[in-house]
Amino acid sequence: MIEELTLDAIELPAGDKAILSLQLPAEFIIVFEPVTHSAQFIDVKGRANARAPGAHPWSTITCGAPHRHHGDAPGQIRLSLENRTNGRVLPSIWIANDAMHNFIGKRRAF
């Protein structure tokens, strides 16, 4: 189930940057970083991006910065991740749909 909900995940050392190329579905996407507990949201709506082959829109997400809500259309995107903390971060990109809510809803309370 986790593999179906995860679009990508990466480890970034302090001060490091990475660029991910992703195919965004028309779903609500969460970029979650469990070390700092930060999250950013991408509400992917509308029709697929009509771009020339090889043309990708860019989005930048900074780990350790306040969360922001982004919007984009379905299709190919290049996501730039930047770690501005003093430690490593582990950002991952999740599809937040009914399957995810059902999965996390089955955990035991503590």
pLDDT for the residue numbered 52: 47
Residue in 1, 61, 71, 76 with CA at minimum distance from that of residue 29: 71
Domains of the chain, by residue range, sit at: 2-104
* pLDDT tens for the 110 residues of the chain, in order: 677 888 999 999 999 999 888 888 888 898 888 888 888 888 888 766 554 455 555 566 666 555 555 566 777 888 888 888 899 999 999 998 888 778 777 777 77
pTM as predicted: 0.73
